[in-house]
A = this chain, B = another copy of it.
Amino acid sequence: MTDAARDLISKAMVDAGDPVEFAAYAPSNIALSKYWGKRDRSRNLPLNSSLSISLAEWGSHTEVAPSESGIDQVSLNGEVLDMGTAFASKALKFADLFRAGRAQPLKITTRNTIPTAAGLASSASGFAALTRALCGSFSLSLSEAEMSLIARLGSGSATRSIWHGFVRWDKGRAEDGSDSFATPLDVTWPDFRIAIIPVDVGPKSHSSRDGMNHTVDTSPLFAAWPDQAEADCDFIEAMVREQNFTALGQRAEANALAMHATMQAARPAITYLTQDSWAILERLWAARKNGLEAYATMDAGANVKLIFEAQSQDDVTTLFPEAQVIVPFAG
Q: Interface of A with B (CB < 8 Å)?
A: 220-225, 227-228, 250, 253-254, 257-258, 260-262, 264-265, 267-269, 271, 273-276, 278-279, 281-282
CB-defined contacts of A268 to chain B, threshold 8 Å: 250, 254
Which B residue sits closest to A269, measured CB to CB?
A: B257
Contact of A221 with B265 in the complex, beta carbons under 8 Å: yes
Known: A224-B220, A269-B254. A264 touches B275 (CB 8 A): no
Which B residue sits closest to A260, measured CB to CB?
A: B264
Q: In the complex the two chains form, what is the Cα distance from A86 to B273 in whole Å?
A: 37
Q: In the complex the two chains form, what is the Cα distance from A266 to B167 in whole Å?
A: 26
Known contacts A220-B258, A261-B262, A273-B278; 19 further A-B pairs (Cβ under 8 A)? A220-B228, A221-B221, A221-B228, A221-B262, A222-B224, A223-B223, A253-B269, A254-B265, A254-B267, A257-B264, A257-B265, A260-B264, A261-B261, A261-B264, A262-B265, A264-B264, A271-B278, A275-B282, A278-B278
Q: In the complex the two chains form, what is the Cα distance from A232 to B45 in whole Å?
A: 32
Cβ-defined partner of A274 (8 Å) among B250, B253, B278: B278
Contact of A279 with B275 in the complex, beta carbons under 8 Å: yes
Q: In the complex the two chains form, what is the Cα distance from A278 to B278 in whole Å?
A: 8
Cβ-defined partner of A224 (8 Å) among B221, B253, B260: B221
Q: In the complex the two chains form, what is the Cα distance from A279 to B279 in whole Å?
A: 10
Shortest CB distance A280–B (Å): 9
Shortest CB distance A277–B (Å): 8
Q: In the complex the two chains form, what is the Cα distance from A264 to B265 in whole Å?
A: 11
CB-defined contacts of A260 to chain B, threshold 8 Å: 264
CB-defined contacts of A273 to chain B, threshold 8 Å: 278
Which B residue sits closest to A253, measured CB to CB?
A: B269
Q: In the complex the two chains form, what is the Cα distance from A267 to B257 in whole Å?
A: 10
Shortest CB distance A264–B (Å): 4
CB-defined contacts of A271 to chain B, threshold 8 Å: 278, 281
Cβ-defined partner of A221 (8 Å) among B253, B261, B275: B261
9 tightest CB-CB pairs across the interface, nearest first? A261-B261, A220-B228, A258-B265, A261-B265, A275-B278, A275-B279, A221-B221, A261-B264, A275-B275
Q: In the complex the two chains form, what is the Cα distance from A220 to B262 in whole Å?
A: 11
Q: In the complex the two chains form, what is the Cα distance from A261 to B271 in whole Å?
A: 11
Q: In the complex the two chains form, what is the Cα distance from A261 to B224 in whole Å?
A: 13
Q: In the complex the two chains form, what is the Cα distance from A63 to B265 in whole Å?
A: 42
